Amino acid sequence: MPQDLRTADFDYHLPPELIAQTPIEPRDHSRLLVLNRRDGSIEHRRFFDLPSYLRSNDLLVFNDSRVIPARLLGRKAGSQGKVELLLLHRIGPKRWQALAKPGRRLGPGIKVEIEGAKKQYVLEIESKSGDGTVIVRLDDEGVIEECGHAPLPPYIQERLSDPERYQTVYARVKGSAAAPTAGLHFTPELLQRIQQQGVKFAFVTLHVGLDTFRPVDEADPREHVIHKEYCELPLETARAIAERRKRGGRIIAVGTTTTRVLETAAKAGGVAPWNGWTSTYILPGHTFRAVDALITNFHLPKSTLLMLVSAFAGKALIDKAYREAIEQRYRFYSFGDAMLIE
């Protein structure tokens, strides 16, 4: 790992109008920047051109986590003070870690009321931690499905008319507080075209949590503490990876979340089944053991995700790609365009 690593080196200026506010329709008509790590070349395509860059022996690995309606809007009991809770992950029956607004006025013992169609739900703040999160107890977890809203990132100001557009078409395991956005570009038709080439699919699960929303504040990124997230790599995925390796195929991670699962599960001799909490933090200098190519979106300045892709492609190449993406007016962040790093 470089000794002079600085968080400021991962900062860049993005014109605000390049922050995508709405998703492209159809999904696979987003733009695709193709970055070649071997010669540093860049190509500009559309996401539906992705099959042109895939080989019959390749394995695409997807994160099948499904976003829950984790944003809850209510009021402080006994007053009309508005309260917003973003549920991050379930830590036990009816107990969740959450981000709370206004955080300074929501301490232990405070109750929050949320009006449902037929009943009033009551949530209680149990404790507050130094990282700005709280532990909240729900009287009835039905409040999530009945009253919850899509947990769109704060930089998206437009209303999302169809919450399914913040889900991948293959999402199935409920648990994320944010979408694994690299997968938002795939359509059922594109997936079928890719399979017809002989490319195989495999799935992992990582429930996206707090670090998706939080920049690195420390001057030295190595001092940042990444929050743990639950992930699972099943036996059939480990077997698919081993089989593709024997055939000389590439393991292509769809997204940084998938990459973190694969690198968590990677051992000296290959990728083993895994389930549990991961706090894998990938910075430049990391040796990738499981990922040969990466499909990803364009990430926020000074974020752990930008650091991860810089580790994978090399910081100089990522800087070059981001400069060109800005010059070419690519759309950035969750509903933005995509990059294939091969």
Place of tokens 């000296």: 268
Which pLDDT does position 168 carry in this prediction? 98
The residue type found at 279 is S
CA atoms within 13 A on the CB side of 240: 21
Contact 171, 67 (CB under 8 A): yes
pLDDT band for position 28 (cuts 50, 70, 90): very high
Angle at 283 between CA 280 and CA 287, to 5 degrees: 80
* pTM to 2 decimal places: 0.94
Query: Half-sphere exposure (CA, 13 Å, Cβ side) for 144?
Result: 24
- Residue 210 confidence (pLDDT) above 80: no
Kindly report the average pLDDT of the chain as a whole number: 94
Bridge pairing between strands 42-46 and 31-35: antiparallel
Element (H, E) at 143: helix 142-147
The CA R_g of the chain, rounded to the nearest whole Å, is 20
- Alpha carbons 68 and 175: distance in angstroms, whole number: 6
Between 2 and 230, name the one with better pLDDT.
Answer: 230
Residues sharing a CB contact under 8 Å with residue 157, sequence separation 6 or more, in sequence order = 21
Out of 2.60.120.260, 2.40.10.240, 3.30.1370.140, 3.60.40.10, select the CATH number for domain 71-147.
Answer: 2.40.10.240
Residue 112, classed as helix, strand or coil, is strand
> What SS3 class is residue 206?
strand
Half-sphere exposure of 106 (CA within 13 A, CB side): 29
DSSP 219-259: SSGGG--PPPEEEEE-HHHHHHHHHHHHTT--EEEESHHHH
Q: What integer pLDDT is reported at residue 198 of this predicted model?
A: 96
pLDDT tens digits along 246-271:
999 999 999 999 999 999 999 766 89
In terms of Cα–Cα distance, which of 16, 31, 95 is closest to 321? 31
**In the numeric block, which tokens belong to residue 71?**
């944003």
107-163 pLDDT per residue, tens: 899 999 999 998 999 999 999 987 778 999 999 999 999 999 999 998 999 989 899
Q: Considering the domain delimited by 7-67+161-341, tell me its CATH architecture.
A: 3-Layer(aba) Sandwich (3.40)
Domain ranges for the chain, please list them: 7-67+161-341, 71-147
Would the pLDDT of 298 be above 90? yes
